[in-house]
A and B are shown apart, each in its own frame.
Chain A
Amino acid sequence: MMIKKYVDDLFHGYESTAELEDFKEEIIINLKDRVQDLEKAGKSSDKAFAEAVSELGDITAIADDLSREKRKEIIGKMYVDPKPKLSAGYAIGYTLAAGILLFGIITSLITYFSAENNLFIAISSFLPFVVPAGAALTYLGLTTETTAKYPMNWKRALIYALAVGVILFGISISSSHYFMENSDPAAILGVLVPFVLPGVLVIAFLMLTEKKRFKPWLMQEHERYHEAYAGYYKDTEEVTKRGMLSGALWIGAIGVFLLIWILTNILYALPVFLFAIVGELLIEYRMISKHKRNSATK
């Protein structure tokens, strides 16, 4: 059954459909007839087979047509391979980070109760644990491959992790300050802002410039979703971008507001929000005009 095996091999990668099986049967019988004729004309069976096959030509284009839909599904599924395995290094990393975090919580609780319910010391003792643990967990989480997403580039993930670390550092320092006796609100903000603001801005920048790390099958799902809801949400991606933009705008505005407040006076700081509102309106205007342009070209 050389011919049958040959044809089977030819369509090896294709999902079997009724049409394809039909087509295969047709090719096989035609090849058989051809080989028989060539043998009758005096060719050896090997030669006859080789000649018949060479006359067949490129059959895959037709097969593509017949099983295109099915094949799409297969390719989709191929990428949804069973859950990616966590490497030993990552498993250790996660465990260590979680351990450090847990240890930090316990330590700060012990300090809290032994230092006569002093929150300042408790939070201060939590600091050395939460910062590295938070940064490490961020890094590990972003660079871990999941069923839905590819891992992030390690350099980018490292920047994220550092930013998270800096934010956590700022928050814990300033909150421990808050519980310190005779603390000055301005001083707390003075500690908070220089850490949190740049950290948040860095993360906002990274998020805005984020590339998609979804796996192909998920993209297809998204596409199907887009198609299904095309009437309701014209472009969900645009909406997301818009949300991120105004998010970044407001975080920045609050940061600047706090900074001016600390450095000068709250009265000088308030106009910042006016600018932010103007900025928000500009974003909205840009989105609308872009949308109009898009629908005009459609």
Chain B
Amino acid sequence: MEGRISADLLRGHTDTIVLGILLKNDAYGYQIYKSIMDRTDGLYQLKEATLYSSYKRLEKEACIVAYWGDESQGGRRKYYRITDKGRVQYKQNIADWEFTQRILNRLLKEEDD
């Protein structure tokens, strides 16, 4: 049976996904959006609105900072940079996820054993 993606589950990890993308280099909204699309091969479409609220949340928590780029053509873009706090948060989230995954696997696959 082919699996489908749980949108709710994924949405709960938007912040971590965004932080993960920003780990390598700063990016602006559409870049982040595109890199998520590329990674999922279009199997799951995250709405941009979900990302915007994620940026706002992360900014408030000081995990990322926003700054305007100085593009000469086509209008300036708003870039996001991950902070040290954001890096720590990212590692924590990943650790949390791995732990949750272990527990969930144990709980969900119980009957298989």
A interface, CB within 8 angstroms of B: 22-23, 25-30, 32-34, 37, 55-59, 61-62, 65
By a CB distance below 8 angstroms, the chain A residues around B76 are 25, 29
By a CB distance below 8 angstroms, the chain B residues around A62 are 49, 52-53, 56
CB pair A57–B78 under 8 Å, yes or no, is no
CB pair A30–B30 under 8 Å, yes or no, is yes
CB pair A58–B47 under 8 Å, yes or no, is yes
Find B47's partner among A30, A56, A65 (CB 8 Å cutoff): A56
By a CB distance below 8 angstroms, the chain A residues around B53 are 61-62
CB pair B47–A55 under 8 Å, yes or no, is yes
B interface, CB within 8 angstroms of A: 28-30, 33-34, 45, 47-50, 52-53, 56, 74-78
- Distance in angstroms between the alpha carbons of A26 and B78 in the assembled complex: 6
The smallest C-beta distance from B88 to any residue of chain A, in angstroms, reads: 25
B28, B30, B33, B77 — which one has the most chain A CB atoms within 10 A of its CB? B30
Find B78's partner among A29, A56, A59 (CB 8 Å cutoff): A29
CB pair B28–A30 under 8 Å, yes or no, is yes
Find B49's partner among A25, A37, A58 (CB 8 Å cutoff): A58
The smallest C-beta distance from A59 to any residue of chain B, in angstroms, reads: 5
Find A59's partner among B29, B30, B52, B77 (CB 8 Å cutoff): B52
CB pair B75–A32 under 8 Å, yes or no, is yes
By a CB distance below 8 angstroms, the chain B residues around A32 are 74-75
By a CB distance below 8 angstroms, the chain A residues around B48 are 27, 30, 55-57, 59
- Distance in angstroms between the alpha carbons of A25 and B34 in the assembled complex: 19
* B69 to A, closest residue via Cβ: A29
- Distance in angstroms between the alpha carbons of A250 and B42 in the assembled complex: 78
Q: Give 20 pairs: A residue, B residue, CB < 8 Å, sorted on A.
A: A22-B78, A25-B75, A26-B52, A26-B77, A27-B48, A29-B74, A29-B75, A29-B77, A30-B30, A30-B77, A33-B77, A34-B30, A56-B47, A57-B48, A58-B49, A59-B49, A59-B52, A62-B52, A62-B53, A62-B56
* B53 to A, closest residue via Cβ: A62
